[in-house]
Amino acid sequence: MSKVADIFETMEYGPAPESAERANSWLDDHGRAFGHYLGGAFTDPDAGESFETANPATGVAMARVRQGSPEDVDEAVRAARAAQPRWWALGPHGRARYLYALARRIQKHARLFAVLESMDNGKPIRESRDLDIPLVARHFYHHAGWAQLMAGELPDYEPVGVVGQIIPWNFPMLMLAWKVAPALATGNTVVLKPAEFTPLTALLFAEISREAELPAGVFNVVTGDGRTGAALVAHPSVDKIAFTGSTEVGRIIRSETAGTGKRVSLELGGKSPFVVFDDADLDSVVEGVVDAIWFNQGQVCCAGSRILAQEGIAVALERKLRARMETLRMGDPLDKAVDMGAIVAPVQLERIRSLVEKGRGEGAEVWQPTWGVPREGWFYPPTLCTNCAPSGTLAQVEIFGPVVVMMTFRTPAEAVALANDTRYGLAASIWTESVNLALDVAPKVKAGTVWVNCTNFFDAASGFGGYRESGFGREGGREGLWEYVRPTWEGTAPQAPELSAPVPEDVPPPGSAAGAPAGAGGGDTPAAGGRSVDRTAKLYIGGKQTRSDGDYSMAVRGVGGRVAGEVGWGNRKDVRNAVEAARKAQAGWAARTAHNRAQILYYLAENLDARRKEMAARLASMSGDGKGAAAEVEAAVRRLFTYGAWADKWDGRVHSTPFRNVTLAMNEPIGVMGAVCPDELPLLGFVSCLAPLVAMGNAVVAIPSRVGPLAATDFYQVMDTSDVPGGVVNIVTGVHDEIVPTLAAHDDVDGIWYFGSAVGSTDVERASTGNMKRTWVSYGRSRNWVDAHQGEGEEFLREATQVKNIWVPYGE
């Protein structure tokens, strides 16, 4: 027997296991075999193929679940479809009551949820009990509130319909809550596909939803692996896919859903920087690192897996970290005194091992504490890697395990450059005692969440989601609701009549023998306004008129087939030049004050107004409709005023998160944006795309209307006189089939709007997968550009921005 003195000597904790009894008896009650949960009931667990889910801490199987077939998915989607109209008709308060009831029941069964989660996933009970499950309940409470408020806060929006949700295994219940709560609150019904390694809490939740008398079919679970997920993605009657998981699968989903009209939100991987300035409180930093990378064994999409330390403190920090790592306790996840549990599955363990070995092979120094990991189960020790090149495997690849790399920097600018030196952009954490420095750096880091002097804080009131290849869409907060609704008018909008693409006629370069103007009747045809047609066909790139790369022009035919003018016949090279010019201009444009951008938009309006006659004549020369042309110019002037007005009013928010902190939700520009403008109303359509993007600080490469491109090319004159900095707006004319794919596939374009045919929309969505750029396409749906409801406003502003949440704690 050990004496008290011995215990003091080693400071060993005795084991303090949480009881697994209730979880085991729940599993036993179900015969340790589960069917799917469809239409309000569990299906037969023995009706088809099944597989086992194991406890990662022991490797022992806990229960058997079904491998969902396409038929199972179909049945689930049908149940959800059938239930959706009544669920929506229930109204805000009706739905709010159910969400509230779910939240209450989650709290009531919190202990069972936490234990089952830790058993199925391997995470320490302290985490599932104190973090995962309380946050799950919080999400349902918060969204019960959104259900209640929907009619007032989201007027003129309706649910998208049936939502397929595919979630990973790292936070099984929390990811369920993040997806299910907002979907149900806004009147959608759900088919959920939990991860194959951790299906059990979703099945428990299904049972509890029945206890809460949630109407049958509103929430359905189909278990299975990636094949089941793929069947859900492919199902024609699913209106939206919400996915969290690997970037690889996210990319497959993006391209599989291209052109189907399915809405997609993707929350993908990350390689989040953890930036430590030399004035930071190092003891807090060490605890921060523990939470950033050893929380949930590092199997966290936003794990702070790259410590960037300012040179002066790097050595001290490394020393302190090693000392702290020696004291971390790893073991039975149900032990309340354990800091780190097990890795979810052998395949993940192997992945971690092989990536670390690869890093070692590249010259990295790998350090692990002296204590050994448990022999049973799937464990990997906390690991600190130094001497890694910023371009090396360990610094670039998401390891998804308890492995952190440490690199150094000298200046804040260098810190920002290193922080942004990945394909990802999910989260970042910044440590400094200077709030000025933190708030200067935060907007420069490309990440959807920035934690100042803290890390891995989450709350239902704050949106979470990525920039760049970390995906798009937000979960949580007001900003997360938009993923699950659409404007009511959209549901009944007709398809736009498909315009046959004008056949381009090349016009040889001036000066060549065949260079005579192609205008009908020969010679310069005076435009209707009396001004001679400008025959020098140019693109507008970097604030300058430039000849197209091939030096070719295209005739634009107007009324009666008469040539109304010519535009440059741009090619891929021109698109690339335009993107480069936009990239150069974007940061400077975004850094200007909103007031300044507003002034420039008003100035554009003023200068367009001064040329209204000329512009209207030009439009009329293409459309033959003089009255319509005058009205269009007038509408374009108004639209510019609208976004001049909005430029300094599309404010962010301060979210009410329940910590001693402020959570600043800032609307940031997306970056370099492509805009393929609608064919109809060539001036108004062009201005309607350009103005919101520019107002929000993006730089734009615009591809104007196919039928009326002269409206846009004339507009450069307005820009030249309105102080729009070169490169903020670039215009490339040409054959859409030739240039749009280049723009949509370009890796330095951050997002693209496409107003055109269904086929074109498909191509744009598919081409966007390379860098997972954000897309907003119309699928050939007609939009009333003149109408203030459809043609301008918040929908455009949302699509022109991305929300960054910056968490700033206060107090001592």
Binding site for Mg ion (CB under 5 A): 53, 120, 197-198
Structure tokens at 683: 């001036």
Contact 385, 405 (CB under 8 A): yes
Task: Quote the least distance from Cβ 66 to Mg ion, whole Å.
Answer: 15
Min dist. Cβ of residue 196 to Mg ion (A): 8
Closest to 189 measured CA to CA, from 76, 37, 81, 90? 81
Nearer to Mg ion, 64 or 444 (CB): 64
Residue 408: partners with Cβ closer than 8 Å, 6 or more residues away: 308, 309, 310, 311, 314
How far is the C-alpha of 94 from the C-alpha of 587, rounded, in Å? 47
Contact 705, 783 (CB under 8 A): no
Q: Return the DSSP state at 375.
A: S
With b for 16 or more beta-carbon neighbours within 10 A and e for fewer, the 166-178 pattern comes to bbbbbbbbbbbbb
Minimum CB separation from Mg ion for residue 23, in Å? Answer: 12
Q: Is residue 189 within 8 Å of residue 81, measured between CB atoms?
A: yes
Structure token digits, residue 705 = 């209307």
What order of strands is seen across the sheet that includes strand 403-409? Answer: 365-367, 383-386, 403-409, 304-310, 272-276, 427-431, 449-452, 801-809, 661-669, 653-655
Residue 244's binding partner out of ligand NAI, Mg ion, none, with CB under 5 to 8 Å set by partner kind: ligand NAI
Pick one of Mg ion, ligand NAI, none as the site partner of residue 120 (Cβ within 5 to 8 A by kind).
Answer: Mg ion
Residue 669 interaction partner, one of ligand NAI, Mg ion, none, beta carbon < 5-8 Å per kind: none
DSSP 559: G
Distance CA 254, CA 272 (A): 23
Q: Smaller CB distance to ligand NAI: residue 459 or 795? A: 459
Confirm if 62 and 51 have CB atoms less than 8 A apart.
no
- Least distance to Mg ion from the beta carbon of 195, Å? 9
> Which partner, ligand NAI, Mg ion, none, binds residue 565 by CB below 5 to 8 Å per kind?
none
Task: Output 342 or 564, the one with its CB closest to ligand NAI.
Answer: 342
**Residue 374 exposed, middle or buried by CB count within 10 Å (0-12, 13-18, 19+):** middle
Pair 505, 569: CB distance under 8 Å:
no
At position 477, the amino acid (one-letter code) is: G
Secondary structure class of 796 (helix, strand, coil): helix
Please enumerate in sequence order all residues whose Cβ is within 8 A of that of 475, keeping only pairs 6 or more positions apart, or say none: 178, 179, 182, 265, 267, 463, 464, 465, 483
Rounded-to-integer distance, Cα 152 and Cα 154, Å:
6
Phi-psi region of 560 (alpha: psi -120 to 50; beta: other; left: phi over 0): left
Phi-psi region of 531 (alpha: psi -120 to 50; beta: other; left: phi over 0): beta
CB of 426 to ligand NAI, least distance (A): 8
Q: How far is the CB of 118 from Mg ion (least distance, A)?
A: 10
42's enclosing H/E stretch is: strand 41-42
Rg (CA), the chain: 29
Residue with smallest beta-carbon separation from ligand NAI = 229
**Which partner from the list ligand NAI, Mg ion, none does 469 bind, CB cut-off 5 to 8 Å by kind?**
none
DSSP 398-461: ---SSEEEEEEESSHHHHHHHHT-SS--SEEEEE-S-HHHHHHHGGGS--SEEEES--S---TT
DSSP one-letter string for 600-640? HHHHHHHHHHHTHHHHHHHHHHHHS-HHHHHHHHHHHHHHH
Nearer to ligand NAI, 230 or 604 (CB): 230
Q: In whole angstroms, how close is the CB of 662 to ligand NAI at the nearest point?
A: 26
Partner from Mg ion, ligand NAI, none contacting 400, C-beta within 5 to 8 A by type: ligand NAI
Name residue 61's beta-bridge partners: 54
Distance, in Å, from the CA atom of 695 to the CA atom of 534, rounded to the nearest integer, reads: 29
**302 assigned to active site:** no
Question: Shortest distance, CB of residue 238 to ligand NAI, whole angstroms?
Answer: 12
Nearest of 216, 213, 173, 163 to residue 194 by alpha carbon: 173
Q: Which two tokens stand for residue 526?
A: 């005076």
User: Is residue 301 annotated as a catalytic residue, yes or no?
Assistant: yes
- Shortest distance in whole angstroms from residue 808 CB to ligand NAI: 25
How far, in Å, CA of 401 to CA of 403, rounded? 6
Q: How far is the CB of 322 from ligand NAI (least distance, A)?
A: 26
Work out what residue 382 binds among ligand NAI, Mg ion, none; the CB cut-off runs from 5 to 8 Å by kind. Answer: none
Residue 671, binding choice from Mg ion, ligand NAI, none, Cβ under 5 to 8 Å by partner class: none
> In sequence order, what E strands does 562-611 have?
563-568
Nearer to Mg ion, 172 or 259 (CB): 172
For the chain, first and last CA: distance in Å?
A: 44
Binding site for ligand NAI (CB under 6 A): 166-168, 170, 193, 195-196, 225-226, 229-230, 233, 244-246, 249, 252-253, 268-269, 301, 348, 351, 398, 400
Closest CA to 579 of 723, 731, 452, 721: 731
Among 75, 301, 479, 483, which one carries the catalytic annotation? 301
Which of Mg ion, ligand NAI, none does residue 403 bind to, with CB < 5 to 8 Å depending on kind? none
Query: Which does residue 525 bind out of Mg ion, ligand NAI, none, counting CB within 5 to 8 angstroms by kind?
Result: none
The listed partner (ligand NAI, Mg ion, none) that binds 269, CB under 5 to 8 Å by sort, is: ligand NAI
Nearer to ligand NAI, 200 or 415 (CB): 200
Judged by CB, which is closer to ligand NAI: 302, or 575? 302
Catalytic residue among 267, 479, 668, 765: 267
When the beta carbons of 201 and 432 are compared against ligand NAI, the nearer one is 201
Name the binder of 262 from ligand NAI, Mg ion, none, CB < 5-8 A by kind: none
Give 172 or 692: the residue with its C-beta nearer to ligand NAI: 172
Q: Based on CB atoms, which residue is closest to ligand NAI, 198 or 730?
A: 198
Q: Closer to Mg ion at the Cβ: 197 or 424?
A: 197
Query: Whole-angstrom Cα distance, residue 378 to residue 385?
Result: 21
Q: In what helix (H) or strand (E) does residue 53 lie, and over which residues does it extend? A: strand 50-55
Q: In terms of CB distance, is 299 or 546 closer to ligand NAI?
A: 299
Least Å distance between CB 695 and Mg ion?
A: 49
53 vs 571, beta carbon nearer Mg ion: 53
53, interface contact from Mg ion, ligand NAI, none, CB < 5-8 Å by kind = Mg ion
Q: How far is the CB of 34 from ligand NAI (least distance, A)?
A: 16
Give the nearest distance from C-beta 293 to ligand NAI in angstroms.
14
Tell me phi and psi for residue 446, to 5 degrees: -85, 95
- Enumerate the active-site residues: 267, 301
